[in-house]
Amino acid sequence: MSRLVLKAGKEKSLLRRHPWIYASAVARVEGSPASGATVEVRSADGRFLAWAAYSAASTIRARAWSFSEAERVDGGLLKQRVRSAVQRREPMAAESNALRLVFGEADGLPGLIVDRYADQLVTQFQSAGADAWRDELIGSLTEATGCSNIYDRSDGATRAREGLPEISGVLRGADPPTQIEVVEHGLRFLVDVRRGHKTGYYIDQRGNRRAARALAESHVERSGRGPRCLNCFCYTGGFSIAMLAGGAGLVHSIDSSADALRLAAEHVTLNQLSPDRARWEDADVFTALRALKAQGEQFDIIVLDPPKFASSHHHVDRAARAYKDINLNALRLLAPGGSLLTFSCSGAIDVDLFQKIVAGAVIDSGAEAWMVARLGAGEDHPLMMTVPESEYLKGLHLVRVA
């Protein structure tokens, strides 16, 4: 068994059960561990700290599997963790048949992401450790879920940082259909797991789409009319469909992908909603928000769900300017009493910084606004309290009061 020995004082995060060991914390490597191999981690004074998966290429030099010296890292342990992760999410199937079944560190499986779309599993092996146990994990997933079709989307930038090639394709069973129909809170959506964003769909926003629908329904009850809604970076229209189902009088949706907008329009028909209440715009959101203001438009509900603006801490300043810009211009379009649901999925932008950015936009807009709720990913994306970095999706619900 190879060993990582840490520099003096660098054991503190592991003692708090944070599973990441950065290269800068390692004093020496004893042995010649292969990428993904299990290594023993010890402090400078020789204390056992963890069993971890080694990655020579990554700045995260190792990811802890276990903090118990007596626990054996083998196929049996991983099988038990996969089974537990799947079982914890069984009650959520009542909301949707599109669920995240495994969420990396939160399920004791660092670097492994597994999403379920009906009877299709989609995997992402994002760490050297998960990749080394690929065959065992695939078998465990099939056994735990009963799904015989598994498609791999290990094609993200995280793989390159681990020194792994980007790959995608069938791991088990049949090639997935071009579109898989899923149901979410009674609404139907089509998902392309081979080419869609992430693993095909933004499962993490399920609860927030339901909240947007509830806002539309509440507006109808209060005012007797359907709200005018704006959905920016709409992708395939998840929030748009939810607000239309809630009785929105108009949903104006903006995205720069014509293909995504075509599928979004299909979702209107699929859910038997009125196409007359849906307006689709193929445009850059930054430009479109200014144009809508110049046209004198105003909206009762606005959703800002942009892609990741900061892929690392090196891009935080640029991302902060982008987040402020879209929030500032959205607030200028928001009617008094209206709601803004604004999000960031940039892991490098923490909750406090995101709130400060949005507060700056509120100040510069001249609007008065309350923050009535913090928003985040659904229950199937739990936050491991010892790994605050895993809270990648942050959201705020603002209400304009003047």
Query: Using N-to-C axis directions, what is the helix angle for 285-294 and 316-333, rounded to 10°?
Result: 30
Known catalytic membership, residue 229: no
Cα–Cα distances (Å) from 190 to 202, 258, 268, 271, 364, in that order, read 12, 16, 11, 11, 39
Burial label, 46 (beta-carbon count in 10 A; 0-12, 13-18, 19+)? exposed
Nearest CA-CA partner of 212 in 301, 150, 330: 301
Nearest CA-CA partner of 92 in 208, 206, 181: 206
Q: How far apart are CA 311 and CA 162, in angstroms?
A: 15
Query: Using N-to-C axis directions, what is the helix angle for 134-145 and 75-88, rounded to 10°?
Result: 40
**Token pair listed for 203:** 């499962």
Residues 219 and 241 sit within 8 Å (Cβ to Cβ) = no
Secondary structure percentages of the chain, helix, strand, coil, to 5: 35, 30, 35
Please identify which of the residues 147, 232, 234, 345 carries the catalytic annotation: 345
**Token pair listed for 176:** 């997935």
Residue 282: strand pairing partners: 255
Q: How far apart are CA 260 and CA 282, in angstroms?
A: 9
Note the Cα 390 to chain centre separation in Å: 10
Q: How far apart are CA 107 and CA 42, in angstroms?
A: 23
Kindly report the CA angle at 68 between 66 and 73, in degrees rounded to 5? 50
CA dihedral 196, 201, 286, 311 (to 10 degrees): -80
Instruction: Cite the active site residues.
Output: 345
